């Protein structure tokens, strides 16, 4: 399935692989997705939507086997505090539903904070913009595709 995220990568000439899996709407955890696509959870990155008191909406892209540290994200993003966006706001803000949020091809560009461990891997997996499909690509290509001006390498996890 070709998604808007895949189209963005194609338009930029970035090599990637789409890996599909069966979706269980009762278990959308990154650990489950990782198992289904045959990768360690640390290599499958989940995209979380947060809101800071100064910056506003931002995305945190963290390994699937970790939790987002809101204090660390606040520090790295220049906010005093950050909280997760309520689930009902995720789709209106990003254009994606839970389990399919990606920093690629967003409805509106937001600052993206990518966990520093991403660069430890030859390839990482991120959502392709729909449930049931992951994009595998080089971390540097992911950063380039998102738009280097909006990406910060940080450690926003616990």
Give per-residue pLDDT as tens, 90-144: 999 999 999 999 999 888 889 999 999 999 999 999 999 999 999 999 999 999 9
Instruction: Assess whether pLDDT exceeds 80 at residue 151.
Output: no
Dihedral sign of CA atoms 135, 137, 142, 146 in order: negative
Q: For residue 125, give both structure tokens.
A: 């997996």
Task: Say yes or no to pLDDT of 149 above 60.
Answer: no
State the average pLDDT for the chain: 91
pLDDT at 72 over 50: yes
Q: Scanning the structure block, which residue is given the tokens 């595709």? A: 145
pTM value surpassing 0.85: yes
Mean pLDDT throughout 49-67?
Answer: 96
> Is the pLDDT confidence value at 152 over 90?
no
Is residue 132 helix, strand or coil? coil
Structural domains in the chain?
4-154 (3.90.960.10)
3-state class of 134 per DSSP?
strand
Distance, in Å, from the CA atom of 96 to the CA atom of 3, rounded to the nearest integer, reads 12
Q: Are 134 and 21 in contact (CB under 8 A)?
A: yes
Measured CA to CA, the distance from residue 26 to residue 146 in angstroms comes to 29
């Amino acid at each position: 399935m070709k998604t808007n995220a895949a189209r963005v990568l194609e338009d930029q000439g970035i090599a990637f692989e789409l890996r599909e899996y069966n979706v269980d709407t009762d278990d959308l955890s990154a650990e489950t997705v990782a198992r289904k696509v045959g990768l360690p959870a640390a290599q499958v990155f989940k995209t979380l939507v947060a809101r800071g008191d100064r910056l506003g909406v931002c995305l945190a892209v963290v390994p699937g086997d970790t939790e987002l540290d809101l204090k660390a994200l606040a520090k790295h993003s220049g906010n005093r505090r950050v909280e997760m966006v309520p689930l009902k706001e995720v789709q209106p803000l990003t254009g994606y539903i839970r389990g399919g949020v990606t920093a690629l091809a967003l409805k509106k560009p937001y600052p993206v904070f990518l966990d520093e461990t991403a660069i430890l891997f030859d390839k990482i997996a991120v959502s392709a913009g729909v449930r049931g499909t992951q994009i595998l690509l080089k971390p540097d290509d992911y950063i380039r595709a998102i738009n280097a001006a909006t990406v910060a390498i940080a450690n926003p996890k616990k």
